[in-house]
Structure 1
Amino acid sequence: MLSSMPGNDASRVMKLNYVICRATGFGRFERWAMVSQEVDHAVDSDQLRHPAGGRREWLSTLRYGLIVVLLGYLAVAYVVLPLGWWRYEKRHPALTNAPTLTHTKLGIPGDPLNVGFVGSEEQLIKAFHAIGWTEAEKIDLKSSVGIAESTVLDRPDAVAPVSSLYLFGRKQDLAFELPVGESARQRHHVRLWRCEEKDDQGRLFWIGSVTFDERVGLSHTTEEITHHISPDVDGERDGLLNSMLKAKQIEAIEYVNDFQPQAQGKNGGGDPWKTDQRLGWGTLID
């Protein structure tokens, strides 16, 4: 074993062994003399097998290896892990055990929740107006007639109502839309619910579902006239958040990975949807 060590290391080991033997009374000096001769022989043999240049190269490689390991440890311990914990702690407490799906009035699973905002109701309304979205009207006789005329006669209706979905035992608190084309057949729209929890700064969290109505037709489950959504709910999520960021209405875009327990499903109208299972959110700017 000693013969496999570089000469200086083997010599140090044997000298340490001698000190231990003297301190403990174990062994005699004569034994040390015999071992010392073995060490000298090992050193001489090592010098023959490993010239000075080879030893220097070996030590240099070892030194650089230790430096790399040390730098890796420092990066993980003082940068990666603290950043990960900071991002986790930065999350709004409402995201802990948050629901993942809306439901219809009959309790049928609705659209998946995929977006959220931190801030007040006033900030939220201002932010949507800044990117050209308008508040959807409440469903009543007048608004129902209006959306029917818009759909059939190709008339604009920027405030057409959206159907009610439920979360926390109530229908959406706010709904916004952005029409596409000349009627209410196609539109981007989002439903939002106010969560009860506040963060350490007293700010609310609004969780919602943003989808794209791509056509009007009969519900696959109830046969009622309804909008059918595009299955690409992630595209709607990212489009909305990027519009908010570009308009300087949110600080940054954050994501909660694995928020949705499943990557695909169907809503209350029988429309399929698919997702990368992330919820995107942002903190509103005053």
Structure 2
Amino acid sequence: MKCIVGIVVVYFLLSYMFLPMLWTHYEHHPVMEKAAKRTVTSDGIPGDPLNVGLIGTKEELIRAIVLAGWSPADPITLGSSVDIVKGVLLHKPYADAPVSNLYVFGRKQDLAFEQLVGGSPKERHHVRFWLSPELGQGDRPMWIGSATFDKSVGFSHRTGQVTHHIAADVDAERDKLFDDLQRAKELIRLYQVTGIGLTVNGRNGGGDWFYTDGEMTIGVISERNRLVTAQPTMEENPKPVEWKNRVWHALKGK
């Protein structure tokens, strides 16, 4: 019996204390240690994880995202709400469909972008951004964000309201955004810091399941959107983080 208790104690110490400590890192951007790690809904329910960040001015960010093939989302109005319902029901494209409001720093997103999949706003890649000069570098602010994929429209598991449901693999959406930005030759540097942390059974504000390696990828936009001819510098993660990510991707089958 004592042996079993000992094994359980060691397991919990390793799983919930020592290993997470080894995997937590902010060496490339120390101030991010104090940053928010996920969004919240208007009801205060924890929402989607914050998994992306971009450093640059508002104008640089908008231009970079648009050049990468994403469209700015329309604000939520009666007209845009009617249009998105029509788009879903009639399978009509609406490339600038509004996104629901999520909150960081006590306010809704400052900017949002999307990419339609197919001919309806039912499925789309999308990302929300919140401005934070305090988290930036020098005189260039940070835009901390949450990138997820809307896979369908249905009812919230928590409130019963009509909402989009997200795909569980939020890392895939994070990586897609930065792949698009690199193809557009808009980034000069990439690195990661700890975001929400390794999560196997997360739930967002609508009750949708998600999982993640827990890393937040941050990109530095080329000043004035000058075309970048070389691949952006990718800063290495600490070895324990690399080992964790390799095991995680092996378990995912990628």
TM-score (norm 1): 0.66
Q: How many residues align?
A: 197
Within a 5 Å distance, the mapping from 1:1-286 to structure 2 comes to 88=27, 90-91=28-29, 93=31, 95-197=32-134, 199=136, 201-256=138-193, 258-264=194-200, 265-285=202-222, 286=225
Distance 1:92 1:118 in 2: 15
Name the structure with the higher strand share: 2
Larger Rg: 1
Change (3 A) 1:200 1:152: closer
**Percentage of identical aligned residues:** 47
SS of alignment partner, residue 251 of structure 1: strand
CA shift in 2, pair 1:226/1:199, >3 Å: closer
Taking the aligned partners of 1:168 and 1:199, their CA distance within structure 2 comes to 15
In structure 2, the CA distance between the partners of 1:243 and 1:250, relative to structure 1 (3 Å rule), is same
What's the Cα RMSD here?
Answer: 1.4
SS at match of 1:164: coil
Q: Which has the higher helix share?
A: 1
User: Runs of 4 or more off by more than 6 Å in structure 1?
Assistant: none
Cα distance change of structure 1 residues 161 and 92 upon mapping to structure 2, 3 Å threshold: farther
Quick one: distance in 1 between partners of 2:185 and 2:137?
23
User: 1:177 aligns to what SS in structure 2?
Assistant: strand
Runs of at least 5 residues in structure 1 that lack an aligned partner in the other structure: 1-86
| Structure 2 counterpart of 1:284, one-letter code | I
TM-score, normalised with respect to structure 2: 0.75
3-state SS of paired residue (1:223): coil
- Sort the Cα spacing of 1:241 and 1:215 in 2 relative to 1 into closer, same or farther, 3 A: same
Amino acid at match of 2:182: L
Question: Following TM superposition, by how much is the alpha carbon of 1:252 offset from its aligned partner in structure 2, in angstroms?
Answer: 3.0
Q: Report the CA distance between 1:261 and its aligned residue.
A: 3.5
1:51 is aligned to none
Return the letter of the residue paired with 1:234: D
| Aligned match of 1:62 | none
- Ranked by relative contact order (alpha carbons within 8 Å, sequence separation 6 or more), the top structure is 2
